[in-house]
C-alpha cells in the first residue's frame, strides 16, 4: 500500500486515465494523498503572440476544473496543473513532493516508441520511486 501517489493525467484522445485512477484507488492506504497532475507544454513566444490574451489563463482554468472533477472520484485526491516538458516536469515534481508511487497511463505504442511512449519511458527510467504503467 502507498501513502503518496502521483497520477499524471493526459487529456490526449488516445490516453484513458480511468485504469490509472482505479489502480491508484486500489493501491492507496486509507490516508493516502493522490495527486492528479497535468503538464501543459510551454507554448513558444512566437506562437503565443497569435493567440488571444486570455487563452492561457482560460485553458489553465478549464484543465484545473477537469482535474478537480476527476479528483472528486478518489479519496484524498487533488488536481494540479503545471507547465513544462511532460517527462522532465513529472520527475521534477516527484523530486520535490516525494511520491512513493507514480502511476502512468500509456498509449499503445507504434514502432517508433518500441515498448512505451516517450513520457512513460523517461519516467520509468529516471524516477526514484516505484512506477506502474497501465494501458
H/E element holding 69?
A: helix 55-71
Q: Taking a C-beta distance cutoff of 8 angstroms, is the pair 65, 96 a contact?
A: no
Residue 114, pLDDT above cutoff 70: no
Model pLDDT for residues 9-62, shown as the tens digit of each residue = 999 877 788 999 999 999 999 999 999 999 999 888 888 888 888 988 999 999
Of 7, 4, 1, 5, nearest to 120 by C-alpha is 7
pLDDT at residue 110, rounded to an integer: 53
Q: How many domains does the chain have?
A: 1
* Residue 122 scores a pLDDT above 50: yes
What pTM was estimated for this model as a whole?
0.90
pLDDT of residue 113: 46
Per-residue pLDDT at 44: 86
CB-count burial class (<10 Å; 0-12, 13-18, 19+) for 86: buried
Calpha distance 135→104 (Å, rounded):
9
Domain with 20 in it: what CATH number?
3.40.50.620
Q: Which domain holds residue 97?
A: 2-134
Integer CA distances (angstroms), 47 to 38, 63, 81, 86, in order: 21, 20, 21, 19
pLDDT digits (tens, 9 = 90+) for 87-100: 999 999 999 999 99
Amino acid at each position: 500500500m502507498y501513502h503518496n501517489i502521483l497520477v499524471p493525467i493526459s487529456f490526449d484522445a488516445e490516453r484513458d486515465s480511468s485504469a490509472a485512477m482505479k489502480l491508484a484507488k486500489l493501491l492507496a492506504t486509507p490516508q493516502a494523498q493522490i495527486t492528479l497532475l497535468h503538464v501543459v507544454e510551454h507554448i513558444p513566444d512566437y506562437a503565443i503572440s497569435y493567440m488571444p490574451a486570455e487563452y492561457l489563463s482560460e485553458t489553465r482554468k478549464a484543465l484545473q476544473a477537469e482535474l478537480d472533477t476527476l479528483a472528486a472520484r478518489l479519496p484524498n485526491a487533488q488536481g494540479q496543473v503545471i507547465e513544462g516538458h511532460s517527462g522532465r516536469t513529472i520527475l521534477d515534481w516527484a523530486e520535490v513532493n516525494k511520491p512513493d508511487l507514480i502511476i502512468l497511463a500509456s498509449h499503445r505504442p507504434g514502432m517508433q516508441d518500441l515498448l512505451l511512449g516517450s513520457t512513460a519511458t523517461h519516467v520509468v527510467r529516471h524516477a526514484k520511486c516505484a512506477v506502474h504503467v497501465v494501458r
